[in-house]
């Protein structure tokens, strides 16, 4: 029977995982000209979501998650993106919430 990890053990696992990815370069994503394909193929972004995102933001994305795929962000919502990295999720969310969000 496995013992559940403590909060501190979980935090340390996350720290170690991100540290390894940063030290290897390219984050969880590719960090190169294939970055958009990685975001689409592995994280569920759609080409429409990435159409208006600047190429340098896509190429710089750490690419470890797609929070907007399950967040249910809608027009008029307020979104706070903590640790936004290259900002692709902020740009996509801004389009979703519109001028009133």
3-state SS string over 49-69?
HHCCCCHHHHHHCCCCCCCHH
- Measured CA to CA, the distance from residue 77 to residue 73 in angstroms comes to 6
Q: Over 90: is that where the pLDDT of 98 sits?
A: yes
Confidence (pLDDT) at 27: 52
Q: Over 60: is that where the pLDDT of 20 sits?
A: yes
Q: Over 90: is that where the pLDDT of 26 sits?
A: no
Q: How many residues appear in the chain?
A: 101
Confidence (pLDDT) at 91: 92
Confidence (pLDDT) at 33: 58
Average pLDDT along the chain: 83
Q: Over 70: is that where the pLDDT of 52 sits?
A: yes
- Measured CA to CA, the distance from residue 30 to residue 38 in angstroms comes to 7
């Amino acid at each position: 029977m496995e013992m559940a990890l403590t909060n501190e053990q979980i935090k340390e696992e996350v720290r170690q995982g991100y540290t390894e990815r940063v030290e290897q370069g390219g984050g969880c994503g590719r960090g190169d000209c294939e970055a958009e394909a990685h975001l689409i193929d592995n994280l569920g972004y759609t080409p429409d979501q990435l159409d208006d995102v600047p190429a340098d933001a896509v190429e710089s994305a750490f690419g470890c998650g797609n929070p907007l795929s399950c967040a249910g962000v809608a027009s008029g919502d307020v979104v706070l993106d903590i640790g936004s990295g290259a900002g692709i999720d902020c740009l996509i969310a801004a389009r979703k919430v519109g001028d009133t969000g």
